[in-house]
Structure 1
Amino acid sequence: MQVSKKTYTVQEATRKLEHYCAYQERCHQEVRKKLEGMHMIPEAIDVIIVHLLEHNFLNEERFAKTFVSGKFKIKNWGRRRLTYELKKKDVVKVNINQALREIGNEEYIEVFNGLAEKKANSIKETDKFKKRKKLINYLLYKGWESHLVYEKANEIIP
């Protein structure tokens, strides 16, 4: 039995992608993958992406700002992790830097300190070296800058 793949006209695919982009901010890479998954030919993909850009359904600068804001506020990611994740999505450096500037330094340090304190209190380790190591690994994984992490770890767990 042959399973037929659903095919789309450029108009159908464009409508589908307009909804896809309107529902949630997307980066160019996500849109391209979605269109490839719909078995669209490269020429059609380019036409649709241009349409989405022209009609403001797709805006990478807006995507980067939304991504940074969400991951920073909800997941408490630091600048290094945010940069890494956006680079993985092929977002250009200008948009990454623009989005990172949206986070105020005061707020950044406040979130970092709160996260570090909360994590330090939750680590059930009696050996202070192991406890400090666990805290450092956690904060580095979250993408916080190493100078902040080591300074804070030594301050919280002397």
Structure 2
Amino acid sequence: MDFILQNWYWIVAAAVSGSMLLWPTLSGAARGVSASEAVLLINRQKAVVLDVRSEEDYLAGHIVGSRRLDPSADLEASGLLPKDKDRPVLLVCQTGTRSRPVVGRISKLGYTQVSTLSGGLKAWTEASMPLEQGAPAPAIKGNRPGKAAR
């Protein structure tokens, strides 16, 4: 008992430190994925990539195939979320912090695999991953990739 009384501040510090480490897990915070994990999600599971940065930043350079999502927009009305709620959704911002609140909003809509890119586009470019500039090419409805329009 004397040990506890003499070292109560160390015990409190350990408890606070431990709770801070567990908080993201217990609060359901956004799952962050690395650039290499993001590539696997995109290529193998056809993840929908949504960029929540400003339009100017998006046009200056974004992940190939990503779409810009205004984080304050009505997510369901945006038409950017997949119909299949089990399809992975990957959110991207500049450093990985602005996309986290949007992860929660999308998860509340019933989407089961919502992630954010850890470190954001900064980490993506540091990993030498490709970017495209300008607006993405519009999809042609009814055509499959590799098929010419008639």
Fold-level similarity (TM above 0.5): no
> Could you say which structure has the higher helix fraction?
1
Alignment TM class, shorter chain as reference: under 0.3
> Could you say which structure has the higher strand fraction?
2
Q: Highest relative contact order (Cα 8 Å, sep 6+), 1 or 2?
A: 2
Q: Which structure has the greater CA radius of gyration?
A: 1
